[in-house]
Structure 1
Amino acid sequence: MKIVTLEKFVEKSLEFSTLNLINECFSENRPCLGDESELAMRVIAMDHENVISHAAMYIRSMRIDDYTFKGSIIGDVVVSRNYRGRGLCKIMLDVLNSFNFELKIEHSFLFAYEPKIYLSCGYRNLTNEIKFFDSNCNEWKKFVYKGGLHKQIGNSKLPDGVIDFCGKVY
């Protein structure tokens, strides 16, 4: 098994395999991967030529009232059913969190169907309301997502208040 980090796909076959894995793991089909303009890194685990796990990290400026910070959103975290329980999720998040630290990201966010999986990686339940752009409805929305998670990377504690994601969530 090998871990690969990418800023963008250079091989269409790798992109296709990754998208197939994401669609296998999530109930809704996704026609494409996240917004490449905000993409900082993808982490992919491969067993021979097969993509067996994937996670992506997107970076943008966010704010709570007058406090503006650089935040990351971890998205499309998937592990093939046959490889679950082997620590691949933790390995991928460790790689992404090292990159967060290197880029001086203050806060990292993740929205999960199974939040408990990410607690051992240092993520905690996010209780702040978030404001984000819902590209499905083409409108701005606010709510507290029950599977929302946060990890403090820098020294600044996340203040109370509505987090303006200044875009969509992944």
Structure 2
Amino acid sequence: WLQSSPTIPELGFCLNSRAQMFWLEPGLPASLAPGKRPRTTLTPSLLYRHGEPYMAFGTPGGDQQDQWQLIFLLRHIHHGMNLQASIDAPSFHSEHFPGSFFPRLAAPGKLVLEGRFAAQVGQALQQRGHRVEWGDDWSEGRLCAASRTNGLLKAAANPRGMQGYAVGR
């Protein structure tokens, strides 16, 4: 992350991975100032059902974390997909808003779709004004999740990037 962190010339060092989320221009809501905390993209999540912990889930991925986690959650809760199917289904992300990390790039209207989506999905999004970019087949998301229902523990891990495994005993 130090490669992408802005160097403060007067001090001769880079901001760390979370401090770089401050803006170095004064007068902005996220400007670097004493006593302020930076925004963060970290989103470890705990879902409750009927007042009890039901599921823990999360992913690395900077600005894409919230996007991938929402997609996972909607698939699981609203579409009834099991944990592994919710993770394995093709995913996407938007680059429409300025990035959290320096140099804060934005690509208005841009959606990155995994190559496993049907071509018609990309065409329909383009007809709605999105700028579609096709990624590799298994490129979007690094989710893992674990849930507990009636004493049964279930877990799922993402095959993308070979970053995690769901193991139990």
TM-score scaled by structure 2? 0.25
Higher relative contact order (CA 8 A, sep 6+): 1
TM-score scaled by structure 1? 0.25
* Bigger proportion of residues as strand: 1
